[in-house]
Structure 1
Amino acid sequence: MDHFQARTLSLGSPVAAERELRRMGVDPGGIQRLLPKMSSHCIQIPRLQCRQANILKQEMLALGGDAAVARGSVACSIEASDAILMGTEKQLRQLCTRLARQPFGLPSLGEELSTLLDRIATPAFFWRTSRRELPLTRPLIMGILNITPDSFSDGGRYLDPARAVERAEQMIAEGADIIDIGGESTRPGAPAISAQEEIDRVVPVISAIAKSSSIPLSVDSWKGEVARQAMDAGAEIINDISGLGFDPSLAQVAATSKAGLVLMHTRGTPDGMQRDTEYGDLLAEVMQGLRHSTETALSAGVERELICLDPGIGFAKSAQGNLELLRRLREFQSLGLPLLVGTSRKSFIGAAIGREVHDRLFGTAATVALAVSHGASILRVHDVAAMRDVADMARAIVEG
């Protein structure tokens, strides 16, 4: 019996697919024709009318792909159906063209699908702040600097401004690309503090670091006045855990200052958020929350190139929910914006491996490596030197 040694190929990116075709000696013109056929996509569309779902099913089958719809959709015996489109990029782009000629609002769906495919094919190459463009060709490490007495991991260690500046200098030497400075703990159950107290903690530190270093500085705050004074002191990024949901003035501060803006998903304030961790569809609800935050920012005048998204791992999520977000992180590519992930030393790591907060280095490393492999561009971490190596190694494996 002949053995042909057939095998599957795991080509995680168009770059890897093109490399394999070049290795085989495929004609360069043929490579560009074949690439779209080598990647299959699954795209979910919720709550379609049955007549819309049925047309999508017929069109995908005609193109050589497929679509999953709910039982009862064909007979229109149910009110609505989700659909999962399954096909290559080429088949899905052909579907977009065909939908332009269909009724029932499907031309607008075709336009939306075309935009989504563009976002998947060409992820963001840079993130803009008020002072520069940060290239995303290599994962960025955001070092955490908590000027708080009660943060879950390092509360009280850097309340003295001189020690805080020392710590920033250490993280810069270890390879940090950004320093994220926070004056209010956002750990589960943490009480709120006044804007003035937060300003008194972070502004002197931001000012001192800005005078001694050119590294981009981020202020971790949801309060408009804190962000405004932090930007005046030398920060260029606002990291908002509320996704513009807590203080209506923050959106205008971000727009006026041209700050880089991190919009995170959460549900409820830190003092009560872990009492609300149940979701009907976790990914869909987190994604919808981030879409809403993005629309709020854009409506306030924030430019799209300034926005970065954070799914909020550890914020109003169960331990299993956090793991699911990491597993399915690549789905956030459909939003078309850079992705920041903060898992460092968090309790879901302790729950998975049975380690206390200061013994979660290797657990954190696993989450950072997986986040990079699934499309994260910025990693917010405590252990800068170790996670710099982890992120760079993960990138080397994924991209070669």
Structure 2
Amino acid sequence: MQYLISIIGLIVVLGLALLASNNRKNIKYKPIAVMVVIQLILSYVLLNTKFGLVLIKGIAGVFEKLLEYAGEGIGFVFGGIANEGTMPFFINVLLPIVFISVLIGIFQYFKILPFIMKGIGLLLSKINGMGKLESYNAVASAMVGQSEVFITVKKQLGQLPPHRLYTLCASAMSTVSMSIVGAYMTMIEPKYVVTAIVINLFGGFIITSIINPYTVDDREDILEIQEEEKQSFFEMLGEYILDGFKVAIIVGAMLIGFVSLMAAINNVFDLAFGITFQEILGYLFAPFAFIMGVPLAEVVQAGGIMATKLVTNEFVAMMDLAKVAPEMSPRTLGIISVFLVSFANFSSIGIIAGAVKGLNEKQGNAVARFGLKLLYGATLVSVLSAIIVSFVL
């Protein structure tokens, strides 16, 4: 029965993408089918095989070690600020982003990261039937972040037509940057974080291939990566340290605002209607939770967490998930965890539009105009990834 529900869910998600398509005649179904099969294979390997277990343990071990190193610096600055046996969320989860950001900067400085991103991007373009630029951008988004990725392609940015710009932005919203992967792993199981990152990459191509299909002429598909202005090694370190700290502060500020606002709205709704706002959202999103393979008894609770992620951000939703995790079945926990690992939320529209506008005002305005369609597609990517995982859990 669960496989039947997952198949229906897959058909529904692809159908919802088809409804929003701007050129149904141009959709290439063969690469889409191939990528769905790749998603299923990768999910099975990562979650159900010894090789996958070893691989994920290895990746989790690396991030665990990196968080230990980050803890040395954090302990030096903030040691003694927490009570015995406790650690504030900001210190334990967000501040390690600073150290991860430094490592990304070092790999960028020595040209290791651009080489990897370009190589994987070129390989993916053979599978997805899309342009080299789009494939590179998807990989780069997952490594350097949804704002920073546009700097690497700023030479092409002003020349891109709206349909190609949409694909680049959709990739940035559907993935998560490596700088905060460690933070996610402290909140949900690492195996779901790794699996989501991998299959979201293909999910982004699948959904955009349906919503926004087009063919790229080889003459228009020149992949010219913009290198950052030459800096000394220590200038680069200083810049990435500050960038990482800004990300931690911004996420912390957003959490304070969103968690406080959600608590206030919930209280108002509870007093007025005898039901919280999140519970109402849970009922609205319950059908999506059901087609994702969540057992019927848990769909309302799961739907509430999904909705929280959409209207606030993934950190708030992960915190809510952690509170109810002991009450949830392992299957539901896995499906919802995968759904949460992406930047698909309303605030991302402003972040991406602002990043593009800072480089090219005209293109930034174009991104703002199709912002809701961008969020629609990115949310379908998250739902698709959750459904794919439901087949193997």
Task: Identify the TM-score tier after normalising by the shorter chain.
Answer: under 0.3
TM-score (norm 2): 0.27
Which structure's CA Rg is the greater one? 1
Higher RCO, 1 vs 2 (CA within 8 Å, ≥6 residues apart):
2
Structure ranking higher in strand proportion: 1
The structure in which a higher percent of residues are helix is 2
